[in-house]
DNA sequence: AAGTAATTTGCATTCGAATGCAAAATTGCA
DNA sequence: TGCAATTTTGCATTCGAATGCAAATTACTT
C-alpha cells in the first residue's frame, strides 16, 4: 500500500509514460526558469554551480533529454549529416559506412542514411536531405550538375567519396585509381604477361571507367596490344560472366585479367577455377581493386590495390566538418594512393 | 549586361544562397498567408486548385522545401526511425541494413543510423535516440533490461531484429535458430557423421548461443556424444582459429564442423583446405548459418540455413509502423524458419 | 436575386529550446 | 557597511510549420 502510494506520488506529472519531458517540466519542478535549464545543458554557459546541480538532479529524476529537434530549429544546426551510398551490397561500402558513422558519431554528429539501389534516383533523396536540414552531406554516389548546383545554391557542404569530378570544383576524397591501375599493369607486364582481359564497371560508374581507362592506357603505353575489354557490374556474378565474354571475344583466355574491383576478381577466379578448369595464377593471373575483406581469404589471396579506407573516411569527415564551420573554404580534393597488396592471384614482378 | 541584370533580378530576396527559403517567403511572394502554403504541402488539406497552383509555382521558383525539423516539432512526428546495428563487418548485416533502409524509405521514413562497434555501448546511443525524437527503433543489438524499461516508459516502439528475448514481452522478428540447427544436425547425423565440432559465437551473443545450444542439444538427443565446442566471434578469422582449437581439444579433427555463421564456416573451410590439407566435404563437412552472399560462391558453395532477410526486414518494418500508428498494440514476435541451402560443403542426407 | 450551405482562407497560437537584454543576486573592495 | 563590478538568473522573443477556429469567399438552391 505504502509502496504503491509513493510510486504514484512519483508519477504525479511529467512521469506518466508517453508524455515527453520538456525543459519547462524540469524548470517547474526545480523552481527555476526554462532558460536556466537550457543553459545547464549548454557547455560553457553562465550558470552557477548550485543551479547546475539542482537542475541536473531534477533532469535525471525526470529522465529529461533536450529535444534536438527544437534545438536545431533555433540554432540552425541539426548535427545531422546525410550519407548517400549507392550499393551497400558491394562489399566495399559497408566498411566505409561503418567508419564514417563511427567517426561522425565521435564528433557528436548523427548519420542520416540514404542507401540508393542504383547510382541514380538521387533526386528524391536530395529533396529529403533539404527537408531535414542536414549540416552536410557525404556522397558515395554520382550527382548531376543540376544537383551539384543545388548544393552550391543552398551552401550545403558536400564531400564526395571516391567520385572524382575532374572538371568541377567540388570537395572529394578519392583513391588514385589511375596510379593504382598503372602499378598493377606494370607489375603484370614486367612479369611477362602478354595478353590481357579487363572486366570493367557499368557504364555510369566513374570509378569503374577511371580504372578501366587507366589500365588500358597503361597497357597501350607499354606496347601491349592484345587487350580485351568487357563491361561488368562490380559484382561476383559479373566476374564469371566477364571471363566468358572475354574468352568469346578473344577466342581464348588471356594471360591476365584485370578486374575493376575485388568482387569481380573473386568471381573471375572462381569461374576460371571451377568453370574453366584453370589454375590461378599459373594459367591466368587475376588482379582486383579495393582490398575488401574477402580478398585476403586464403581461397583467393588476391593481388589488389587496397584503398586506405581509414584515412579516406577520416579525410572525408574532416573536410566536411571544416566546411560546416566555415562554408567559405575553397573546394579541395584529396587523392590517396592505393596500397599494393601482394597476393598470390597473379604472377607479379 | 541585360542578362546580368535579369539574373540579379531573380536573386532579389530569398534566392540568395545560404538563406533558407521558408513558407513565409513563399507566402509573401505568392500573396497568400503562411497557413495557405503549409496546407498546400499537406496532402488532403482544404485548398482550392487555384491556390495550390499559385503556391506551388512560387515554391518551385524559390526552391522551397518544407522544413522537416519545424514540422516535427509541432506534429510530434519526426518520420525518423533509428536503426541500431552492432557489427556491420559481419557480411550479414549490410544486406539487412540496405533492405531496412529501402523499405522504410518507401514508406516515407528516414533512417538514423547507429553503428555500434560492439554489442554493448548502447547507452550513449540511446540518449541520442531520445534527443532526436525518433518515431521508432529497430535494433539488431542487445539491450539491457534497464534500456528496455526506458523504451517502455517513453512509449517508443521498438522492434528487435534477430534478438529473441524469450522472457520479455518485446517485439521481434527472428529466424528460428533452433529449428535451423536441428535441421542441419539431423541431416549431418543421417549422413553418417559421428564426431562433431561446433564453433560458436562470442559470450555475449544471444543468436550465437541459441544456435550453439540447439545444435548441441540436438546432437545429444540423437545420441551423439563426440562433440567439441569452442567459442568464436562470427568472423572469418575465428573459423580458422576454431578449427585449430577443436583439433587441439579433441586430438584430431571431427567428421563435421557446425559453424555459428557463414563467415566462420568460410574461415573454417579455408583453414581445413589450405591449413590442414583436408578436403571439404570429403574429409570434413562444414555447415554455416545465415546464407550471406559469399556462401554461394563457387569456392565454398556452403551448406547453410539461409535467413529469409526479405521477409524478416519486411516484417520488422511492418511491425514497427503498426506500432507507430497504434502504440497500444501488444508485443509480438515473428519467427521465420530458415531456408535450407543444399550446398556442397557438407555430406548431407 | 437572396439566402443558406459548403468550401476556402487567414489569424493567432503552438511545439521546445536558445539567446539578447535587463533585472537580480553575488562578489569584491574600500 | 556601502557601493561598484561581476556573475547569475529570468523575461520575452525567436526559429518554421501546423492547426483550431472564425472570417471570407464561393457554390448551390429556390
Q: Are strands A303-306 and A339-341 parallel, antiparallel or unpaired?
A: antiparallel
CATH number of A77-176+309-339: 3.40.50.2300
Find the helix or strand (DSSP H, E) in which B259 lies. strand B256-259
Three cell numbers written together for A139: 556522397
A203-247 pLDDT per residue, tens:
888 889 999 999 999 999 999 999 999 999 999 999 999 999 999
Evaluate whether B77-175+310-338 and B177-308 have a shared fold.
yes
Superfamily of domain B2-66: lambda repressor-like DNA-binding domains (1.10.260.40)
What number is the average pLDDT over the span B168-185? 93
Name the average pLDDT for chain A: 90
Least reliable range by pLDDT among A175-189, A297-311, B157-171 = B157-171
* Fold for the domain defined by B177-308: Rossmann fold (3.40.50)
Distance A243 CA to C20 C1' (A): 70
- B94/B96 Cα distance (integer angstroms): 5
Cβ pair B171, B160 in contact under 8 A = yes
Close Cβ partners of A71 (under 8 Å, ≥ 6 residues apart): none
Of B117, B131, B275, the CB nearest to A65: B131
Distance B127 CA to C18 C1' (A): 20
Q: Is pLDDT above 80 for A4?
A: no
Chain centroid to Cα A269, Å, comes to: 27
- B130/B71 Cα distance (integer angstroms): 18
Answer yes or no: do B128 and A110 touch at CB < 8 A: yes
Answer yes or no: do B114 and A105 touch at CB < 8 A: yes
Footprint of strand D on the protein (CB under 7 A): A 31-36, 39, 46-48, 50-51, 70, 73-74, 76; B 20, 22-24, 34-35, 38-39, 41-42, 64, 66-67, 70-71, 73-75
- B22/B64 Cα distance (integer angstroms): 7
- A244/A259 Cα distance (integer angstroms): 13
| Alpha-carbon distance B269 to nearest alpha carbon in chain A (angstroms) | 9
- B146/A100 Cα distance (integer angstroms): 29
pLDDT bucket at B195, cuts 50 / 70 / 90: very high
Please report the pLDDT score of residue B204 as a whole number: 82
Residue with the three cell numbers 581445413? B272
**Beta sheet of B339-341, edge-to-edge order:** B227-230, B196-199, B256-259, B285-290, B303-306, B339-341
Closest amino acid to nucleotide D19 (CA–C1'):
B35
* Chains A, B: CB pairs < 8 Å: 162
Three cell numbers written together for A272: 576460371
Nucleotide nearest to B75 (CA to C1'): D18
Q: Are strands B171-175 and A339-341 parallel, antiparallel or unpaired?
A: unpaired
Answer yes or no: do A101 and B112 touch at CB < 8 A: no
pLDDT bucket at B16, cuts 50 / 70 / 90: very low
Q: Where are the domains of chain B?
A: 2-66, 77-175+310-338, 177-308
Q: Is pLDDT above 80 for B15?
A: no
Q: Is pLDDT above 80 for A32?
A: yes
- B74/A139 Cα distance (integer angstroms): 31
| Alpha-carbon distance B253 to nearest alpha carbon in chain A (angstroms) | 20
Q: Does A121 touch chain B (CB under 8 A)?
A: no
Burial class of residue B185, CB neighbours in 10 A (0-12, 13-18, 19+) = buried
CA distances to A72, A73, A81, A288, B183 from A109, rounded to whole Å, are 13, 16, 7, 34, 45
Three cell numbers written together for B107: 514508406
Cβ pair B249, B179 in contact under 8 A = no
B233-252 pLDDT per residue, tens:
999 999 999 999 999 999 99
Q: Does A222 touch chain B (CB under 8 A)?
A: no
- A98/A112 Cα distance (integer angstroms): 13
Nucleotides of C under 7 A from a protein CB: 7-12, 14-20
Distance B72 CA to C13 C1' (A): 17
Nearest-5° angle of CA B84, CA A161, CA B131? Answer: 30
Please report the pLDDT score of residue B329 as a whole number: 92
Q: Which has the closest alpha carbon to B17: A101, A150, A271, A75?
A: A150
B96, B244, B294: best mutation site toward chain A, by most A Cβ within 10 Å? B294
**Beta sheet of A303-306, edge-to-edge order:** A227-230, A196-199, A256-259, A285-290, A303-306, A339-341
Q: Is pLDDT above 50 for A5?
A: no
B92-106 vs A92-106: helix crossing angle, rounded to 10: 70
Cβ pair B230, B249 in contact under 8 A = yes
Chain B residue numbers with beta carbons less than 8 Å from the beta carbon of A115 are: 97-98, 101-102, 105, 111
Please report the pLDDT score of residue B134 as a whole number: 96
Please report the pLDDT score of residue B14 as a whole number: 31
Which runs of consecutive H residues, i.e. helices, occur in B222-290? Answer: 236-250, 262-270
> Percent of chain B beyond pLDDT 70?
94
Cβ pair A198, A184 in contact under 8 A = no
> Percent of chain A beyond pLDDT 90?
78
Considering the four listed CATH numbers 3.30.365.10, 3.40.50.300, 3.40.50.2300, 1.10.10.10, the one that applies to the domain covering B77-175+310-338 is 3.40.50.2300
Nearest-5° angle of CA B285, CA A291, CA B101? Answer: 80
Please report the pLDDT score of residue B45 as a whole number: 83
Cβ pair B285, B255 in contact under 8 A = yes
A248-285 pLDDT per residue, tens:
999 999 999 999 999 999 999 999 999 999 999 999 99
> Which residues between 23 and 62 in chain B have a beta carbon less than 8 angstroms from any beta carbon of chain A?
none
What number is the average pLDDT over the span B107-132? 87
Cβ pair A318, A136 in contact under 8 A = no
Amino acid at each position: 500500500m505504502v509502496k504503491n502510494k509513493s510510486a504514484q506520488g512519483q508519477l504525479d506529472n511529467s512521469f506518466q509514460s508517453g508524455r515527453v519531458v520538456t525543459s519547462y517540466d524540469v524548470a517547474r519542478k526545480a523552481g527555476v526558469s526554462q532558460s536556466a535549464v537550457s543553459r545547464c545543458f549548454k557547455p560553457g554557459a553562465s550558470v552557477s554551480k548550485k543551479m547546475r546541480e539542482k537542475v541536473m538532479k531534477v533532469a535525471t529524476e525526470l529522465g529529461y533529454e533536450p529535444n534536438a529537434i527544437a534545438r536545431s530549429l533555433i540554432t540552425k544546426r541539426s548535427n545531422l549529416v546525410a550519407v548517400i551510398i549507392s550499393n551497400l551490397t558491394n562489399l566495399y561500402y559497408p566498411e566505409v559506412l561503418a567508419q564514417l558513422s563511427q567517426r561522425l558519431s565521435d564528433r557528436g554528429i548523427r548519420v542520416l542514411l540514404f542507401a540508393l539501389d542504383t547510382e541514380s534516383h538521387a533526386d528524391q533523396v536530395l529533396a529529403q536531405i533539404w527537408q531535414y536540414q542536414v549540416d552536410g552531406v557525404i556522397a558515395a554516389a554520382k550527382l548531376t550538375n543540376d544537383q551539384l548546383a543545388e548544393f552550391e545554391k543552398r551552401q550545403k557542404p558536400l564531400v564526395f567519396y571516391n567520385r572524382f569530378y575532374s572538371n568541377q570544383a567540388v570537395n572529394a576524397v578519392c583513391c588514385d585509381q589511375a596510379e593504382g591501375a598503372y602499378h598493377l599493369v606494370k607489375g603484370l607486364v614486367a612479369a611477362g604477361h602478354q595478353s590481357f582481359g579487363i572486366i570493367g564497371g557499368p557504364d555510369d560508374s566513374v570509378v569503374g571507367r577511371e580504372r578501366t581507362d587507366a589500365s588500358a592506357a597503361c597497357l597501350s603505353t607499354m606496347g601491349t596490344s592484345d587487350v580485351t575489354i568487357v563491361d561488368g557490374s562490380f559484382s561476383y556474378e559479373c566476374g564469371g560472366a566477364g571471363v566468358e565474354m572475354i574468352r568469346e571475344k578473344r577466342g581464348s583466355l588471356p594471360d591476365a585479367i584485370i578486374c575493376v574491383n575485388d568482387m569481380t576478381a573473386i568471381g573471375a577466379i572462381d569461374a576460371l577455377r571451377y568453370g574453366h578448369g584453370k589454375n590461378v595464377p599459373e594459367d591466368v593471373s587475376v588482379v582486383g581493386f579495393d582490398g575488401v575483406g574477402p580478398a585476403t581469404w586464403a581461397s583467393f589471396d588476391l593481388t589488389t590495390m587496397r584503398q586506405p579506407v581509414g584515412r579516406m573516411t577520416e579525410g572525408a569527415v574532416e573536410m566536411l566538418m571544416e566546411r560546416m564551420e566555415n562554408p567559405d573554404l575553397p573546394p579541395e580534393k584529396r587523392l590517396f594512393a592505393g596500397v599494393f597488396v601482394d597476393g598470390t592471384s597473379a604472377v607479379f614482378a
